[in-house]
Structure 1
Amino acid sequence: MPIRISSELPAFRTLGEENIFVMSKERAEHQDIRPLKVIILNIMPKKIETESQLMRLLSNTPLQVDVELLQMASHVSRNTSSHHLDAFYKTFDEICDYRYDGMIITGAPVELLDYEQVDYWKEICTIMEWSKTHVFSTIYICWAAQAGLYYHYGIPKYPLEKKMFGIFPHRAEVSNCQLLRGFDDVFYVPHSRNTEVRREDIERIPQLEILTSSDISGVHIVANKNGRQYFITGHSEYDRDTIANEYRRDVEKGLDIQIPYNYFPNDDPNNMPVFSWRCTANLMFSNWLNYCVYQKTPYNLDELEVRNWNWQTSL
Protein backbone atom coordinates (compact mmCIF):
# COMPACT_ATOMS: atom_id res chain seq x y z
CA MET A 1 0.00 0.00 0.00
CA PRO A 2 1.16 3.58 -0.57
CA ILE A 3 1.56 6.63 1.55
CA ARG A 4 -1.20 9.20 1.03
CA ILE A 5 0.03 12.72 0.30
CA SER A 6 -1.12 15.67 -1.74
CA SER A 7 -0.35 15.30 -5.44
CA GLU A 8 0.92 18.92 -5.33
CA LEU A 9 3.62 18.18 -2.73
CA PRO A 10 7.13 18.10 -4.27
CA ALA A 11 7.75 14.72 -2.66
CA PHE A 12 4.87 13.23 -4.72
CA ARG A 13 6.80 13.71 -7.96
CA THR A 14 10.17 12.82 -6.40
CA LEU A 15 8.94 9.49 -5.04
CA GLY A 16 6.98 8.72 -8.21
CA GLU A 17 10.14 9.11 -10.28
CA GLU A 18 11.78 6.55 -7.99
CA ASN A 19 8.93 4.07 -8.64
CA ILE A 20 7.78 4.37 -5.02
CA PHE A 21 4.05 3.81 -4.70
CA VAL A 22 2.39 7.04 -3.61
CA MET A 23 -1.30 7.75 -3.86
CA SER A 24 -3.02 11.10 -3.98
CA LYS A 25 -5.49 11.74 -1.19
CA GLU A 26 -8.19 12.23 -3.83
CA ARG A 27 -7.75 8.67 -5.11
CA ALA A 28 -7.39 7.19 -1.64
CA GLU A 29 -10.75 8.58 -0.55
CA HIS A 30 -12.44 6.01 -2.81
CA GLN A 31 -10.87 3.08 -0.91
CA ASP A 32 -12.61 1.56 2.09
CA ILE A 33 -9.46 1.33 4.23
CA ARG A 34 -8.63 3.07 7.48
CA PRO A 35 -5.09 4.35 6.83
CA LEU A 36 -2.60 4.97 9.59
CA LYS A 37 -2.51 8.66 10.40
CA VAL A 38 1.06 9.91 10.84
CA ILE A 39 2.05 13.51 11.45
CA ILE A 40 5.59 14.82 10.88
CA LEU A 41 6.74 17.83 12.87
CA ASN A 42 9.44 19.03 10.49
CA ILE A 43 11.87 21.48 12.09
CA MET A 44 14.79 20.81 9.75
CA PRO A 45 15.89 23.85 7.69
CA LYS A 46 15.60 22.13 4.29
CA LYS A 47 12.04 21.00 4.78
CA ILE A 48 11.35 19.73 1.25
CA GLU A 49 14.44 17.51 1.35
CA THR A 50 13.46 16.09 4.76
CA GLU A 51 9.87 15.50 3.61
CA SER A 52 11.07 13.30 0.76
CA GLN A 53 13.54 11.41 2.96
CA LEU A 54 10.95 10.49 5.59
CA MET A 55 8.12 9.78 3.18
CA ARG A 56 10.40 7.47 1.19
CA LEU A 57 10.91 5.40 4.35
CA LEU A 58 7.25 5.46 5.37
CA SER A 59 6.20 4.18 1.95
CA ASN A 60 8.07 0.88 2.20
CA THR A 61 5.36 -1.26 3.84
CA PRO A 62 2.04 -2.90 2.82
CA LEU A 63 0.25 -0.36 5.04
CA GLN A 64 -1.58 2.71 3.80
CA VAL A 65 -0.26 5.77 5.60
CA ASP A 66 -1.91 9.18 5.60
CA VAL A 67 0.86 11.75 6.20
CA GLU A 68 0.34 15.29 7.47
CA LEU A 69 3.02 17.96 7.95
CA LEU A 70 3.33 20.22 10.97
CA GLN A 71 5.39 23.39 11.41
CA MET A 72 6.23 25.59 14.38
CA ALA A 73 4.00 28.67 14.50
CA SER A 74 6.51 30.42 16.76
CA HIS A 75 9.41 30.14 14.30
CA VAL A 76 9.91 31.75 10.88
CA SER A 77 11.64 29.41 8.43
CA ARG A 78 14.40 31.06 6.39
CA ASN A 79 15.10 28.10 4.11
CA THR A 80 11.62 27.11 2.91
CA SER A 81 9.21 29.39 1.07
CA SER A 82 6.14 30.66 2.86
CA HIS A 83 4.11 29.48 -0.15
CA HIS A 84 5.20 25.88 0.44
CA LEU A 85 4.54 26.08 4.17
CA ASP A 86 1.12 27.68 3.69
CA ALA A 87 0.15 25.08 1.09
CA PHE A 88 1.29 21.89 2.81
CA TYR A 89 1.88 22.53 6.51
CA LYS A 90 -0.44 22.97 9.46
CA THR A 91 0.17 24.60 12.82
CA PHE A 92 -0.50 23.05 16.20
CA ASP A 93 -3.68 25.06 16.73
CA GLU A 94 -5.11 23.46 13.60
CA ILE A 95 -4.46 19.84 14.65
CA CYS A 96 -4.51 19.91 18.47
CA ASP A 97 -8.00 18.38 18.66
CA TYR A 98 -7.08 15.42 16.43
CA ARG A 99 -5.42 12.11 17.27
CA TYR A 100 -2.75 10.24 15.32
CA ASP A 101 -1.40 6.72 15.15
CA GLY A 102 2.18 7.93 14.84
CA MET A 103 4.31 11.04 14.97
CA ILE A 104 7.86 11.87 13.86
CA ILE A 105 9.69 14.90 15.26
CA THR A 106 12.78 15.75 13.24
CA GLY A 107 16.11 17.15 14.30
CA ALA A 108 17.08 20.81 14.09
CA PRO A 109 20.40 22.72 13.94
CA VAL A 110 19.99 24.26 17.40
CA GLU A 111 21.82 21.72 19.55
CA LEU A 112 24.49 24.13 20.80
CA LEU A 113 21.80 26.35 22.31
CA ASP A 114 20.36 25.67 25.74
CA TYR A 115 16.87 24.25 25.24
CA GLU A 116 15.22 27.30 26.78
CA GLN A 117 17.08 29.57 24.32
CA VAL A 118 15.41 27.94 21.30
CA ASP A 119 12.74 30.36 20.08
CA TYR A 120 10.10 27.65 19.74
CA TRP A 121 10.94 25.75 22.95
CA LYS A 122 7.63 26.50 24.72
CA GLU A 123 5.65 25.44 21.65
CA ILE A 124 7.53 22.18 21.14
CA CYS A 125 7.09 21.37 24.86
CA THR A 126 3.36 21.84 24.40
CA ILE A 127 3.42 19.48 21.41
CA MET A 128 5.51 16.85 23.24
CA GLU A 129 3.06 16.93 26.16
CA TRP A 130 0.08 16.72 23.78
CA SER A 131 1.63 13.70 22.04
CA LYS A 132 1.34 11.61 25.22
CA THR A 133 -2.46 11.62 24.93
CA HIS A 134 -3.05 12.26 21.22
CA VAL A 135 -0.41 10.11 19.50
CA PHE A 136 0.03 6.38 19.90
CA SER A 137 3.77 6.14 19.13
CA THR A 138 6.30 8.92 18.56
CA ILE A 139 9.78 8.87 17.02
CA TYR A 140 12.17 11.64 18.05
CA ILE A 141 15.19 12.18 15.76
CA CYS A 142 18.63 13.65 16.66
CA TRP A 143 18.10 17.03 18.43
CA ALA A 144 14.45 16.13 19.00
CA ALA A 145 15.60 12.91 20.71
CA GLN A 146 17.76 14.92 23.09
CA ALA A 147 15.00 17.47 23.62
CA GLY A 148 12.42 14.76 24.25
CA LEU A 149 14.63 12.96 26.77
CA TYR A 150 15.21 16.27 28.53
CA TYR A 151 11.55 17.33 28.55
CA HIS A 152 10.02 13.99 29.51
CA TYR A 153 12.76 12.63 31.81
CA GLY A 154 15.13 15.46 32.72
CA ILE A 155 18.09 13.88 30.89
CA PRO A 156 20.74 16.52 30.02
CA LYS A 157 22.83 16.84 26.88
CA TYR A 158 26.58 17.36 26.83
CA PRO A 159 28.81 19.12 24.28
CA LEU A 160 31.27 16.96 22.35
CA GLU A 161 34.94 17.86 21.88
CA LYS A 162 34.41 17.47 18.14
CA LYS A 163 31.38 16.87 15.95
CA MET A 164 30.06 13.29 15.74
CA PHE A 165 30.04 13.21 11.97
CA GLY A 166 29.93 10.22 9.64
CA ILE A 167 28.64 6.66 9.37
CA PHE A 168 29.13 4.55 12.49
CA PRO A 169 28.74 0.81 13.27
CA HIS A 170 26.06 -0.12 15.82
CA ARG A 171 24.83 -3.19 17.68
CA ALA A 172 21.59 -4.11 19.39
CA GLU A 173 21.65 -4.35 23.18
CA VAL A 174 18.38 -6.23 23.61
CA SER A 175 17.01 -9.39 22.04
CA ASN A 176 13.52 -9.97 20.60
CA CYS A 177 13.08 -6.27 19.92
CA GLN A 178 10.35 -5.71 17.36
CA LEU A 179 11.69 -2.32 16.26
CA LEU A 180 14.97 -4.08 15.38
CA ARG A 181 13.50 -7.23 13.85
CA GLY A 182 15.65 -8.38 10.93
CA PHE A 183 18.63 -6.15 11.75
CA ASP A 184 22.15 -7.43 11.06
CA ASP A 185 24.50 -8.02 14.00
CA VAL A 186 26.32 -4.85 12.95
CA PHE A 187 24.48 -2.07 11.15
CA TYR A 188 25.40 1.45 10.11
CA VAL A 189 23.80 4.80 10.96
CA PRO A 190 24.68 8.38 10.01
CA HIS A 191 25.32 10.88 12.82
CA SER A 192 25.76 14.62 12.52
CA ARG A 193 25.70 16.33 15.92
CA ASN A 194 27.76 18.34 18.38
CA THR A 195 26.15 17.09 21.59
CA GLU A 196 25.31 13.76 23.21
CA VAL A 197 23.22 12.07 25.87
CA ARG A 198 24.99 9.68 28.21
CA ARG A 199 24.27 6.11 29.17
CA GLU A 200 24.50 6.63 32.92
CA ASP A 201 21.77 9.29 32.88
CA ILE A 202 19.43 7.10 30.83
CA GLU A 203 20.01 3.99 32.93
CA ARG A 204 18.80 5.87 36.02
CA ILE A 205 15.31 6.21 34.49
CA PRO A 206 13.34 2.96 35.05
CA GLN A 207 10.89 3.65 32.20
CA LEU A 208 13.68 3.76 29.61
CA GLU A 209 15.79 1.13 27.88
CA ILE A 210 18.75 1.52 25.54
CA LEU A 211 18.03 -0.58 22.45
CA THR A 212 21.10 0.11 20.29
CA SER A 213 24.48 1.76 20.67
CA SER A 214 27.88 2.25 19.08
CA ASP A 215 31.32 1.96 20.65
CA ILE A 216 32.21 5.15 18.79
CA SER A 217 29.08 7.30 18.60
CA GLY A 218 27.48 6.15 21.86
CA VAL A 219 23.79 5.73 22.66
CA HIS A 220 21.64 5.40 19.55
CA ILE A 221 18.03 4.29 20.20
CA VAL A 222 16.36 4.76 23.58
CA ALA A 223 12.82 3.45 24.07
CA ASN A 224 10.12 3.98 26.62
CA LYS A 225 9.35 0.46 27.82
CA ASN A 226 5.65 0.98 27.09
CA GLY A 227 6.39 1.16 23.36
CA ARG A 228 5.11 4.69 22.91
CA GLN A 229 8.31 6.73 22.53
CA TYR A 230 11.54 6.12 20.58
CA PHE A 231 14.45 8.53 20.86
CA ILE A 232 16.95 8.11 17.98
CA THR A 233 20.18 10.10 18.09
CA GLY A 234 21.20 9.39 14.48
CA HIS A 235 19.86 10.27 11.05
CA SER A 236 18.82 7.03 9.35
CA GLU A 237 16.63 9.07 7.00
CA TYR A 238 19.64 10.76 5.36
CA ASP A 239 20.20 10.33 1.63
CA ARG A 240 23.51 9.13 0.21
CA ASP A 241 24.81 12.68 -0.29
CA THR A 242 23.33 14.50 2.74
CA ILE A 243 26.49 14.32 4.82
CA ALA A 244 28.61 15.19 1.77
CA ASN A 245 26.54 18.32 1.28
CA GLU A 246 26.89 19.22 4.96
CA TYR A 247 30.66 18.68 4.78
CA ARG A 248 31.11 20.83 1.66
CA ARG A 249 28.88 23.55 3.11
CA ASP A 250 31.06 23.77 6.22
CA VAL A 251 34.28 23.71 4.17
CA GLU A 252 32.99 26.60 2.05
CA LYS A 253 32.23 28.52 5.25
CA GLY A 254 35.81 28.00 6.42
CA LEU A 255 34.74 25.97 9.45
CA ASP A 256 37.08 23.49 11.11
CA ILE A 257 35.23 20.34 10.02
CA GLN A 258 36.78 16.87 9.89
CA ILE A 259 36.33 14.39 7.05
CA PRO A 260 33.17 12.40 7.87
CA TYR A 261 34.02 9.09 9.53
CA ASN A 262 33.67 5.96 7.37
CA TYR A 263 31.88 7.85 4.60
CA PHE A 264 34.00 8.79 1.59
CA PRO A 265 35.98 5.80 0.20
CA ASN A 266 39.64 6.30 1.17
CA ASP A 267 38.52 9.47 2.99
CA ASP A 268 38.60 11.25 -0.36
CA PRO A 269 35.73 13.77 -0.73
CA ASN A 270 35.99 13.35 -4.52
CA ASN A 271 34.75 9.74 -4.20
CA MET A 272 31.07 8.85 -4.15
CA PRO A 273 29.95 7.82 -0.63
CA VAL A 274 28.87 4.22 -0.08
CA PHE A 275 25.17 4.03 0.85
CA SER A 276 25.61 1.56 3.72
CA TRP A 277 22.60 2.39 5.91
CA ARG A 278 19.66 2.35 3.47
CA CYS A 279 18.40 -1.20 4.22
CA THR A 280 18.56 -0.66 7.97
CA ALA A 281 16.69 2.63 7.68
CA ASN A 282 13.89 1.11 5.61
CA LEU A 283 13.62 -1.84 7.98
CA MET A 284 13.48 0.32 11.11
CA PHE A 285 10.67 2.54 9.84
CA SER A 286 8.77 -0.46 8.44
CA ASN A 287 9.06 -2.23 11.79
CA TRP A 288 7.89 0.89 13.60
CA LEU A 289 4.80 1.27 11.42
CA ASN A 290 3.92 -2.43 11.53
CA TYR A 291 4.81 -3.66 15.01
CA CYS A 292 4.86 -0.50 17.11
CA VAL A 293 1.93 1.34 15.53
CA TYR A 294 -0.37 -0.79 13.34
CA GLN A 295 -0.39 -3.85 15.61
CA LYS A 296 -1.11 -1.79 18.74
CA THR A 297 -3.03 1.38 17.91
CA PRO A 298 -6.83 1.47 18.38
CA TYR A 299 -8.85 1.19 15.19
CA ASN A 300 -10.94 4.10 16.45
CA LEU A 301 -8.49 6.85 17.35
CA ASP A 302 -11.10 8.47 19.59
CA GLU A 303 -10.32 5.62 21.99
CA LEU A 304 -6.65 6.61 22.19
CA GLU A 305 -5.44 7.04 25.75
CA VAL A 306 -2.20 6.89 27.66
CA ARG A 307 -1.56 3.21 28.35
CA ASN A 308 0.90 2.40 31.06
CA TRP A 309 1.29 -1.34 30.82
CA ASN A 310 4.78 -2.60 30.13
CA TRP A 311 5.06 -4.11 26.65
CA GLN A 312 8.38 -5.83 27.10
CA THR A 313 7.72 -8.06 24.07
CA SER A 314 6.67 -5.13 21.86
CA LEU A 315 9.86 -3.09 22.16
Structure 2
Amino acid sequence: MHFVLPADVGDPGSPSGGNVYDLRVSAGMDRVLVAGDWPRPADATALEQALAALPHGDVVLLDGLVSCGLPEIVVPHTRRLKIVVLVHLPLADETGLDPAVARDLDAREGQVLRAARAVVATSPTAAREIERRHGLTGVHVVVPGVDPAPLAHGSDGVHHLLCVASITPRKGHDLLVRALRRIDRDWRLTCVGPHRPFLHELPRDDRVSFPGPLAGEALTSAYTSADLFVLTSRAETYGMVVTEALAHGLPVIASAVPDALGDGGLLIPAGDEYALEAALTRWFQDQDFRSELRARALGRRARLSTWDQSTEDLRRVLATLRP
Protein backbone atom coordinates (compact mmCIF):
# COMPACT_ATOMS: atom_id res chain seq x y z
CA MET A 1 0.00 0.00 0.00
CA HIS A 2 1.12 3.55 -0.73
CA PHE A 3 0.73 6.68 1.39
CA VAL A 4 1.06 10.04 -0.39
CA LEU A 5 2.29 12.66 2.08
CA PRO A 6 3.53 16.26 2.22
CA ALA A 7 7.30 16.36 1.73
CA ASP A 8 7.84 18.13 5.07
CA VAL A 9 6.16 15.37 7.08
CA GLY A 10 9.39 14.49 8.85
CA ASP A 11 10.79 18.01 9.21
CA PRO A 12 11.64 18.54 12.91
CA GLY A 13 11.29 22.29 12.37
CA SER A 14 7.64 21.94 11.34
CA PRO A 15 6.07 19.48 13.76
CA SER A 16 2.32 19.05 13.74
CA GLY A 17 -0.19 16.55 14.98
CA GLY A 18 -1.01 15.60 11.40
CA ASN A 19 2.63 14.93 10.57
CA VAL A 20 3.14 12.81 13.69
CA TYR A 21 -0.01 10.85 12.91
CA ASP A 22 1.07 10.22 9.32
CA LEU A 23 4.50 8.99 10.35
CA ARG A 24 3.24 6.71 13.10
CA VAL A 25 0.46 4.96 11.15
CA SER A 26 2.44 4.62 7.91
CA ALA A 27 5.07 2.24 9.24
CA GLY A 28 5.58 -0.46 6.63
CA MET A 29 3.81 1.46 3.85
CA ASP A 30 5.41 2.88 0.73
CA ARG A 31 5.66 6.57 1.65
CA VAL A 32 5.42 8.86 -1.38
CA LEU A 33 6.51 12.39 -0.47
CA VAL A 34 5.30 15.28 -2.63
CA ALA A 35 6.67 18.81 -2.40
CA GLY A 36 4.38 21.83 -2.61
CA ASP A 37 2.74 24.65 -0.71
CA TRP A 38 -0.32 22.59 0.23
CA PRO A 39 -3.28 22.73 -0.05
CA ARG A 40 -2.97 25.33 -2.86
CA PRO A 41 0.42 24.85 -4.53
CA ALA A 42 1.49 27.07 -7.39
CA ASP A 43 2.63 23.93 -9.18
CA ALA A 44 1.00 20.55 -8.48
CA THR A 45 3.21 18.60 -10.90
CA ALA A 46 4.71 16.57 -8.04
CA LEU A 47 1.31 15.16 -7.07
CA GLU A 48 0.34 14.37 -10.67
CA GLN A 49 3.63 12.58 -11.30
CA ALA A 50 3.44 10.65 -8.02
CA LEU A 51 -0.06 9.32 -8.73
CA ALA A 52 0.73 8.53 -12.38
CA ALA A 53 3.71 6.41 -11.28
CA LEU A 54 1.64 4.11 -9.04
CA PRO A 55 0.56 0.73 -10.46
CA HIS A 56 -3.00 0.31 -11.72
CA GLY A 57 -5.36 -1.08 -9.08
CA ASP A 58 -3.15 -0.38 -6.06
CA VAL A 59 -4.55 0.93 -2.76
CA VAL A 60 -3.37 4.51 -2.22
CA LEU A 61 -3.89 6.52 0.97
CA LEU A 62 -3.76 10.27 0.39
CA ASP A 63 -3.23 12.87 3.10
CA GLY A 64 -6.08 15.34 2.72
CA LEU A 65 -3.74 18.31 2.80
CA VAL A 66 -2.08 17.29 -0.47
CA SER A 67 -5.20 15.97 -2.19
CA CYS A 68 -8.41 17.69 -1.15
CA GLY A 69 -7.65 20.98 -2.89
CA LEU A 70 -6.90 19.38 -6.27
CA PRO A 71 -9.87 17.40 -7.61
CA GLU A 72 -8.72 18.04 -11.19
CA ILE A 73 -5.68 15.85 -10.44
CA VAL A 74 -7.02 13.35 -7.90
CA VAL A 75 -10.47 12.50 -9.27
CA PRO A 76 -9.24 11.16 -12.67
CA HIS A 77 -6.87 8.81 -10.83
CA THR A 78 -9.76 7.31 -8.83
CA ARG A 79 -10.64 5.40 -12.01
CA ARG A 80 -7.39 3.42 -11.94
CA LEU A 81 -6.32 3.55 -8.26
CA LYS A 82 -8.17 2.56 -5.08
CA ILE A 83 -7.88 5.93 -3.39
CA VAL A 84 -8.55 6.52 0.30
CA VAL A 85 -8.36 10.05 1.71
CA LEU A 86 -7.27 10.80 5.28
CA VAL A 87 -8.74 14.10 6.50
CA HIS A 88 -6.94 15.73 9.41
CA LEU A 89 -8.77 19.07 9.15
CA PRO A 90 -11.34 20.12 6.54
CA LEU A 91 -9.56 22.65 4.35
CA ALA A 92 -12.20 25.35 4.82
CA ASP A 93 -11.84 25.18 8.62
CA GLU A 94 -8.43 26.82 8.69
CA THR A 95 -8.80 30.11 10.60
CA GLY A 96 -8.38 33.38 8.73
CA LEU A 97 -9.30 32.25 5.22
CA ASP A 98 -11.08 34.66 2.92
CA PRO A 99 -14.72 33.46 2.73
CA ALA A 100 -14.51 33.01 -1.04
CA VAL A 101 -11.34 30.92 -0.68
CA ALA A 102 -12.96 28.83 2.05
CA ARG A 103 -16.01 28.13 -0.13
CA ASP A 104 -13.80 27.13 -3.05
CA LEU A 105 -11.70 24.79 -0.90
CA ASP A 106 -14.82 23.24 0.59
CA ALA A 107 -16.25 22.55 -2.87
CA ARG A 108 -12.98 21.09 -4.09
CA GLU A 109 -12.68 18.89 -1.02
CA GLY A 110 -16.19 17.57 -1.54
CA GLN A 111 -15.37 16.53 -5.12
CA VAL A 112 -12.31 14.60 -3.96
CA LEU A 113 -14.00 12.88 -1.02
CA ARG A 114 -17.07 11.83 -2.98
CA ALA A 115 -14.84 10.26 -5.65
CA ALA A 116 -12.65 8.35 -3.17
CA ARG A 117 -13.21 4.68 -2.36
CA ALA A 118 -13.12 5.50 1.36
CA VAL A 119 -12.60 8.45 3.68
CA VAL A 120 -10.86 8.32 7.06
CA ALA A 121 -11.25 10.93 9.81
CA THR A 122 -9.27 11.18 13.02
CA SER A 123 -12.21 11.54 15.41
CA PRO A 124 -15.91 10.66 15.62
CA THR A 125 -16.84 14.36 15.71
CA ALA A 126 -14.79 15.05 12.59
CA ALA A 127 -16.33 12.07 10.77
CA ARG A 128 -19.85 13.30 11.47
CA GLU A 129 -18.97 16.81 10.28
CA ILE A 130 -17.37 15.51 7.07
CA GLU A 131 -20.46 13.39 6.35
CA ARG A 132 -22.79 16.34 6.97
CA ARG A 133 -20.73 18.80 4.99
CA HIS A 134 -20.13 16.68 1.91
CA GLY A 135 -23.17 14.41 1.83
CA LEU A 136 -21.21 11.26 2.64
CA THR A 137 -21.95 8.16 4.68
CA GLY A 138 -19.66 5.60 6.24
CA VAL A 139 -16.64 7.81 6.97
CA HIS A 140 -14.17 5.66 8.92
CA VAL A 141 -12.67 6.78 12.22
CA VAL A 142 -9.07 6.05 13.22
CA VAL A 143 -8.17 8.05 16.30
CA PRO A 144 -4.55 8.92 17.06
CA GLY A 145 -2.63 6.89 19.59
CA VAL A 146 -0.32 8.01 22.34
CA ASP A 147 2.91 6.71 23.82
CA PRO A 148 3.25 5.80 27.50
CA ALA A 149 4.73 8.76 29.37
CA PRO A 150 6.09 9.61 32.83
CA LEU A 151 3.80 11.39 35.25
CA ALA A 152 4.14 15.15 35.49
CA HIS A 153 5.66 16.41 38.73
CA GLY A 154 4.86 20.06 38.01
CA SER A 155 6.29 23.09 39.76
CA ASP A 156 4.20 24.25 42.71
CA GLY A 157 1.10 22.50 41.41
CA VAL A 158 -0.60 25.71 40.28
CA HIS A 159 1.26 28.41 38.41
CA HIS A 160 3.16 26.92 35.46
CA LEU A 161 0.91 26.58 32.39
CA LEU A 162 1.85 24.83 29.15
CA CYS A 163 0.45 25.08 25.63
CA VAL A 164 1.82 22.91 22.81
CA ALA A 165 0.62 24.11 19.39
CA SER A 166 1.82 25.90 16.26
CA ILE A 167 1.60 29.66 16.72
CA THR A 168 -1.31 30.23 14.33
CA PRO A 169 -4.68 32.02 14.67
CA ARG A 170 -6.56 28.69 14.77
CA LYS A 171 -4.76 27.63 17.94
CA GLY A 172 -6.04 30.65 19.90
CA HIS A 173 -2.89 31.83 21.66
CA ASP A 174 -4.27 35.36 21.50
CA LEU A 175 -7.33 34.32 23.52
CA LEU A 176 -5.15 32.57 26.09
CA VAL A 177 -2.70 35.41 26.62
CA ARG A 178 -5.45 38.05 26.88
CA ALA A 179 -7.42 35.95 29.37
CA LEU A 180 -4.37 35.33 31.54
CA ARG A 181 -3.37 38.99 31.57
CA ARG A 182 -6.71 39.88 33.17
CA ILE A 183 -6.11 37.45 36.05
CA ASP A 184 -4.36 39.05 39.01
CA ARG A 185 -2.30 36.01 39.95
CA ASP A 186 1.28 34.86 39.71
CA TRP A 187 1.51 32.69 36.58
CA ARG A 188 3.82 31.80 33.73
CA LEU A 189 2.96 30.30 30.37
CA THR A 190 5.22 28.28 28.07
CA CYS A 191 4.03 28.07 24.46
CA VAL A 192 5.83 25.24 22.68
CA GLY A 193 5.48 25.09 18.91
CA PRO A 194 6.75 26.39 15.58
CA HIS A 195 6.87 30.17 15.33
CA ARG A 196 4.67 31.68 12.65
CA PRO A 197 4.11 35.32 11.58
CA PHE A 198 1.08 35.36 13.91
CA LEU A 199 3.50 35.37 16.86
CA HIS A 200 4.14 39.08 16.32
CA GLU A 201 0.41 39.84 16.64
CA LEU A 202 0.13 38.38 20.14
CA PRO A 203 -0.01 40.60 23.24
CA ARG A 204 3.44 41.00 24.77
CA ASP A 205 3.99 39.75 28.32
CA ASP A 206 7.23 38.77 30.05
CA ARG A 207 5.45 35.86 31.74
CA VAL A 208 4.91 34.16 28.36
CA SER A 209 7.80 32.29 26.71
CA PHE A 210 8.05 30.84 23.20
CA PRO A 211 10.87 28.25 23.07
CA GLY A 212 9.87 27.06 19.58
CA PRO A 213 9.27 23.43 18.61
CA LEU A 214 10.56 20.79 21.04
CA ALA A 215 10.96 17.03 20.66
CA GLY A 216 12.23 14.05 22.59
CA GLU A 217 13.45 14.67 26.12
CA ALA A 218 12.99 18.44 25.82
CA LEU A 219 9.29 18.03 25.03
CA THR A 220 8.87 15.42 27.77
CA SER A 221 10.47 17.84 30.21
CA ALA A 222 8.04 20.58 29.16
CA TYR A 223 5.09 18.31 29.95
CA THR A 224 6.44 16.93 33.23
CA SER A 225 7.41 20.35 34.63
CA ALA A 226 3.99 21.93 33.95
CA ASP A 227 1.06 22.17 36.36
CA LEU A 228 -1.74 22.70 33.83
CA PHE A 229 -2.06 22.10 30.10
CA VAL A 230 -4.15 24.62 28.16
CA LEU A 231 -5.20 24.40 24.50
CA THR A 232 -7.53 27.17 23.31
CA SER A 233 -8.03 26.18 19.67
CA ARG A 234 -10.81 27.70 17.63
CA ALA A 235 -11.08 24.45 15.62
CA GLU A 236 -9.55 20.97 15.80
CA THR A 237 -10.36 17.55 14.42
CA TYR A 238 -8.86 15.70 17.38
CA GLY A 239 -6.11 17.45 19.36
CA MET A 240 -3.26 14.98 19.83
CA VAL A 241 -1.36 17.23 22.21
CA VAL A 242 -4.25 16.87 24.66
CA THR A 243 -3.82 13.10 24.83
CA GLU A 244 -0.06 13.62 25.15
CA ALA A 245 -0.70 15.85 28.16
CA LEU A 246 -3.14 13.33 29.62
CA ALA A 247 -0.57 10.56 29.14
CA HIS A 248 1.54 12.54 31.60
CA GLY A 249 -1.40 12.83 34.01
CA LEU A 250 -1.43 16.58 33.42
CA PRO A 251 -4.67 18.47 34.18
CA VAL A 252 -6.24 19.96 31.05
CA ILE A 253 -8.44 22.93 30.17
CA ALA A 254 -9.15 22.98 26.44
CA SER A 255 -11.57 23.86 23.65
CA ALA A 256 -12.60 22.17 20.38
CA VAL A 257 -11.23 18.75 21.44
CA PRO A 258 -14.18 16.71 22.80
CA ASP A 259 -12.92 13.36 21.52
CA ALA A 260 -9.33 13.74 22.69
CA LEU A 261 -10.31 15.11 26.09
CA GLY A 262 -13.24 12.83 26.83
CA ASP A 263 -13.92 13.09 30.55
CA GLY A 264 -10.26 13.84 31.25
CA GLY A 265 -10.53 17.58 31.89
CA LEU A 266 -12.59 20.73 31.37
CA LEU A 267 -13.90 21.46 27.87
CA ILE A 268 -14.78 25.12 27.28
CA PRO A 269 -16.57 26.68 24.28
CA ALA A 270 -14.21 27.38 21.37
CA GLY A 271 -13.41 31.07 20.92
CA ASP A 272 -15.00 32.10 24.23
CA GLU A 273 -12.33 34.21 25.88
CA TYR A 274 -14.42 34.94 28.97
CA ALA A 275 -15.29 31.30 29.61
CA LEU A 276 -11.55 30.65 29.38
CA GLU A 277 -10.81 33.44 31.86
CA ALA A 278 -13.40 32.04 34.28
CA ALA A 279 -11.96 28.52 34.04
CA LEU A 280 -8.40 29.73 34.62
CA THR A 281 -9.48 31.94 37.51
CA ARG A 282 -11.16 28.92 39.10
CA TRP A 283 -7.98 26.89 38.55
CA PHE A 284 -5.89 29.44 40.44
CA GLN A 285 -8.41 29.98 43.26
CA ASP A 286 -10.00 26.57 43.89
CA GLN A 287 -7.85 23.76 45.25
CA ASP A 288 -10.71 21.25 45.02
CA PHE A 289 -11.11 22.08 41.32
CA ARG A 290 -7.40 21.50 40.75
CA SER A 291 -7.62 18.15 42.52
CA GLU A 292 -10.66 17.20 40.43
CA LEU A 293 -8.87 17.96 37.15
CA ARG A 294 -5.85 15.94 38.24
CA ALA A 295 -8.08 12.97 39.09
CA ARG A 296 -9.86 13.25 35.73
CA ALA A 297 -6.53 13.31 33.89
CA LEU A 298 -5.27 10.21 35.68
CA GLY A 299 -8.50 8.37 34.93
CA ARG A 300 -8.35 9.23 31.22
CA ARG A 301 -4.63 8.34 31.14
CA ALA A 302 -5.43 4.73 31.94
CA ARG A 303 -7.79 4.43 28.93
CA LEU A 304 -5.86 6.11 26.11
CA SER A 305 -5.38 4.27 22.83
CA THR A 306 -1.92 3.22 21.68
CA TRP A 307 -0.33 3.86 18.28
CA ASP A 308 -0.34 0.11 17.65
CA GLN A 309 -4.14 0.19 17.95
CA SER A 310 -4.38 3.15 15.58
CA THR A 311 -2.13 1.50 13.00
CA GLU A 312 -4.14 -1.71 13.12
CA ASP A 313 -7.43 0.19 12.78
CA LEU A 314 -6.15 1.94 9.65
CA ARG A 315 -4.82 -1.32 8.21
CA ARG A 316 -8.28 -2.86 8.59
CA VAL A 317 -9.86 0.00 6.61
CA LEU A 318 -7.33 -0.29 3.79
CA ALA A 319 -7.55 -4.10 3.74
CA THR A 320 -11.23 -3.90 2.72
CA LEU A 321 -10.08 -2.47 -0.64
CA ARG A 322 -7.68 -5.27 -1.52
CA PRO A 323 -8.75 -7.83 -4.15
TM-score (norm. length: structure 1): 0.36
Q: Considering only CA atoms, is the larger Rg found in Structure 1 or Structure 2?
A: 2
Give the helix-richer structure, 1 or 2. Answer: 2
Give the strand-richer structure, 1 or 2. Answer: 1
